[in-house]
Structure 1
Amino acid sequence: MGSYNQSSNPPNTRGDVLGKSGISAAFGQRALQHFDFDPEYRNLNHASFGASPSAIRKKLCQFQDLAEAMPDQFIRYQAPDFLNESREAVAELLNAPTDTVVLVPNASVGVNTVLRNITWNEDSKDEILYFSTIYGACGKTIDYMVDSSQNRVSAREIRLRYPLEDDEVIAALRDAIEASAKSMKRTRVCLFDTVSSLPSVRLPFERITEICREAGILSLIDGAQGVGMIDIDLKALDPDFFVSNCHKWLYVPRSCAVLYVPLRNQAIITSSLPTSHGYIPKSETGRRFNPMPKQNKSAFINNFQFVGTLDTSAYLCVKDAIEWRRRILGGEPRIIEYTQTLAREGGKKVASILGTDVLDNKSASMSRCATTNVALPLRPGEAARAPEWMMETMISDYKTFIPLFSHSGRLWARISAQVYLDIQDFEWAGRMLLELCERVGKGEDIGWEHEHLRKWIPIMGQIPL
């Protein structure tokens, strides 16, 4: 695996950053030249933190340079125009009206923004539904809502044990809604993924949204693994709230996410997170001076236009990232087809090397995404003790990282497909994982935690040895 750097200097105009050629390049090794990975590092975990092409990161630096050169002129008067261009670009990609989307730092902020703006009823009957495969930070957010609501809201978990067919997931959702009603609860909102994190599988989020709509439940979709990875059509989907990271599969620099709130629900979102100048208090006597120039936007849009002094340069790169994907890689359909095909075929290759299997259902609906989950050939005791050692050893000995997790009594590896990878990378991953499992079988991981503590705790000055 190699790495190449682009030699062109950063251009002065938005369009030139994409290069002169409108012909899409090949994927795999040839696409790798657009990213700045260390030559020794093999990035098999795009799903966690994403990666941005060097051309877009140069654009990011240009925006940061403008902010440093003339802070007031850029932040107050120029940045809002670039921000609106980004909002328009991502709205078009998602097939949503521009005035329904704003940009926030990440999907967790988007989920927090929605849940913290909902007013819970005083009768303590409100309930939040969520699936057991929820992203950890979002699960903790629900815990906080329950803990801080003074018993006004509770939560109900829907247990999922994969592999499951979509109909089984839907049946579990219907059972939870019915159980909530029988418990004299009122399901206010259901939080669910497009593609969950661990295990990384596609949920039937379209059908879940329909059921929520039929039942009068607010649908909050955590699409952290969404835009740029799978097709999203918000007009057809019509959720109550949707958030998706742009810094993952869309190649926008970290950190940037899109938050969608249809017009019918914008009155619910009265404040950004944190509250800033765009907030409109209920009391006329509480109106305060807003030092930022008026943008003649709706209250919802203006709320998120300026949320304190943050480096929002990544937000301004959304339009460039979308256009780069079209000009250089051939556009969304081609990117999605390549990454999903590579994940599917690559997962089979890794499973073949390991002598195990891929986590999927008979209809293969779970794997219609750009990630794959492959079981590791470890005994139960090994699977319980070895994951942390294996993941740290991947970094130190193999210059890569693959998340490991337990599900349905087995240890799994989640591998991300990307345009800069090809089937040879998956073959390498399979051999690497097999070698790690063999090392575990020889007991190399035993005593690692103690040695790990011996190495780091004295440095941290926490305890003497």
Structure 2
Amino acid sequence: MKELFLLDPEITYLNHGSFGACPKPIFEEYQHWQRELEKEPVQFITKKLPVLMRESRKALAAFVHCDPQDVYFLPNPTTAINTIMRSLNLNPGDEILASDNEYGAMDRTWDFFCKKSGARYIRQPISMPVVSKEQMIAEFWKGYNANTKVIFLNQLSSATALIFPVKEICDRARELGLVTIVDGAHVPGHIDLDISQLNPDFYTGTLHKWMLAPKGSSFLYVKKDFQDQIDPLVVSWGYQSDMPGESRFLDYHEFQGTRDMAAFLSTGAAIRFLSEHHWREKAAQSKRLILTHYKAFCHLLQTEPICPVTPEFLGQMCSIPIRTGQPTELKELLYNRYHIEIPVMKLNGNFYLRISLNAYNTEADLDKLAAALQEILSQTDLLQ
């Protein structure tokens, strides 16, 4: 499978989760759209692009199960959350309830917002190791009080690789009249996603991670009830348009000045690739490798798994707790000496070696990592 990708064959790539990896056929589609743009930029942007974007939205909406009128493309979830953040009408003392497992860029986004608005961002602790889904839910709701107005939660944590019980939390939040914002950066193409069934108010996810699309392709879903309340992050020709399109929501947000839309137009190719190559089965193989090897890596590093080793909590990633005072040196050593690309994640004062696999990975890749770690343990003090 690795031959289908553009990855350097000399590198053992155990970090699909950070930025994904794009297969050659999808990348060729991406370059095709870039060339089409350059052949006749005016006709492409003014005439062809609106039609092509509509087709891409329909393909995406069918894949994530939502109305194509409720979703639009943007470069990354950070842009999505910034868009939502700037339109929230919160007062001083109002609270946004999150977990302490959120992505660092999101924590920074909410910190910025709270300094401007006087609202408070609550990082509710989730105990490690996780014992059960019920424990996660109960601990999360300990952060709720009368000031809580918004729930913000990642569905799959970047640092700990844990799958969160977002459906149950969204259901209760709806009963309490709270706004629900879900960061699903790691979800589409990784674990099952049905936005209509999950029923959040806002949902953002990437295509360039587990859906294998080119870099800079993500989406924001906004429930119809909230679409008129969300201001465009960039005001451009779609605002009070002279030629209104199918919806004001899409006019305001989809076209934000001249930019390369080729990654968005590659959505159909990415979805076809996943189907033609039976990616659900390929993903299942990667998940089995994670479930099979997680405990062994923890044993090697003399730590314990941070959750039950089951598909309820783990997908194609796992985070191994490590003891290190030199995380950057450890990561650089693994890359420079052993040619292994793998991140060392930091969260709440703890460090994790995060393995994320896709179909181009084999058991031999994990064996190489284990041998490297064994040598590092015996020859250095980086894992003491």
Q: TM-score range by the shorter chain?
A: over 0.9
Matched, 1:433 2:379: no
Alpha carbons of structure 1 residues 346 and 308: separation in structure 2 relative to 1, 3 Å: farther
Matched, 1:316 2:265: yes
Aligned mates of 1:430, 1:362 — CA distance in 2 = 19
Alpha carbons of structure 1 residues 56 and 324: separation in structure 2 relative to 1, 3 Å: same
Aligned mates of 1:259, 1:111 — CA distance in 2 = 9
C-alpha contact 1:270 1:279 (8 A) present in aligned 2: no
C-alpha contact 1:350 1:426 (8 A) present in aligned 2: no
Provide the residue aligned with 2:342 in structure 1.
402
Listed one character per residue, the Cα deviations across residues 186-212 of structure 1 (whole Å, up to 9, x for unaligned) are: x22111011011111111111111121
Deviation at 1:56, TM superposition (A): 0.8
Alpha carbons of structure 1 residues 87 and 157: separation in structure 2 relative to 1, 3 Å: same
* 1:1-80 mapped onto 2 (5 Å cutoff): 31-80=1-50
* 1:187-226 mapped onto 2 (5 Å cutoff): 187-226=148-187
C-alpha contact 2:95 2:149 (8 A) present in aligned 1: yes
SS in 2 for 1:33: helix
Provide the residue aligned with 2:220 in structure 1.
259
Matched, 1:330 2:298: no
**Aligned letter for 1:102?**
Y
Aligned mates of 2:258, 2:153 — CA distance in 1 = 31
Deviation at 1:364, TM superposition (A): 6.0
Provide the residue aligned with 2:316 in structure 1.
370
Aligned mates of 2:375, 2:14 — CA distance in 1 = 17
SS in 1 for 2:236: coil
Q: Which sections of structure 2, spanning at least 5 residues, go unmatched?
A: none
Alpha carbons of structure 1 residues 42 and 362: separation in structure 2 relative to 1, 3 Å: closer
Listed one character per residue, the Cα deviations across residues 5-35 of structure 1 (whole Å, up to 9, x for unaligned) are: xxxxxxxxxxxxxxxxxxxxxxxxxx11100
C-alpha contact 1:353 1:431 (8 A) present in aligned 2: no
Listed one character per residue, the Cα deviations across residues 207-265 of structure 1 (whole Å, up to 9, x for unaligned) are: 11112111111110000111010000111110000000110000000011011112122
Aligned mates of 2:311, 2:26 — CA distance in 1 = 35
**Aligned letter for 1:440?**
T
Aligned mates of 1:176, 1:355 — CA distance in 2 = 33
Aligned mates of 1:78, 1:161 — CA distance in 2 = 51
How many percent of aligned residue pairs carry the same amino acid?
28
Alpha carbons of structure 1 residues 362 and 322: separation in structure 2 relative to 1, 3 Å: closer
Aligned mates of 2:174, 2:225 — CA distance in 1 = 13
TM-score, with length taken from structure 1? 0.78
Provide the residue aligned with 1:244 in structure 2.
205
Provide the residue aligned with 2:362 in structure 1.
422
Aligned mates of 1:362, 1:251 — CA distance in 2 = 26
Aligned mates of 2:209, 2:22 — CA distance in 1 = 8
Listed one character per residue, the Cα deviations across residues 396-448 of structure 1 (whole Å, up to 9, x for unaligned) are: 2122221123568754210001011122211211222222333332x7x99xx
Matched, 1:275 2:245: no
Number of equivalences: 383
C-alpha contact 1:87 1:101 (8 A) present in aligned 2: yes
C-alpha contact 1:100 1:263 (8 A) present in aligned 2: yes
SS in 1 for 2:54: helix
Deviation at 1:391, TM superposition (A): 0.8
Provide the residue aligned with 1:342 in structure 2.
289
Aligned mates of 1:434, 1:279 — CA distance in 2 = 58
**Aligned letter for 1:330?**
H
CA RMSD of aligned residues (A): 2.1
State the structure with more CA Rg. 1
Aligned mates of 1:343, 1:133 — CA distance in 2 = 20
**Aligned letter for 1:421?**
N
SS in 1 for 2:6: coil
Alpha carbons of structure 1 residues 115 and 395: separation in structure 2 relative to 1, 3 Å: same
Aligned mates of 2:304, 2:136 — CA distance in 1 = 21
Matched, 1:392 2:332: yes
Listed one character per residue, the Cα deviations across residues 122-163 of structure 1 (whole Å, up to 9, x for unaligned) are: xx24211111111111000101111112x2x22222012322
Provide the residue aligned with 1:14 in structure 2.
none
TM-score, with length taken from structure 2? 0.94
Provide the residue aligned with 1:450 in structure 2.
none
Listed one character per residue, the Cα deviations across residues 28-52 of structure 1 (whole Å, up to 9, x for unaligned) are: xxx1110011121111101001111
Q: Which sections of structure 1, spanning at least 5 residues, go unmatched?
A: 1-30, 281-288, 447-465
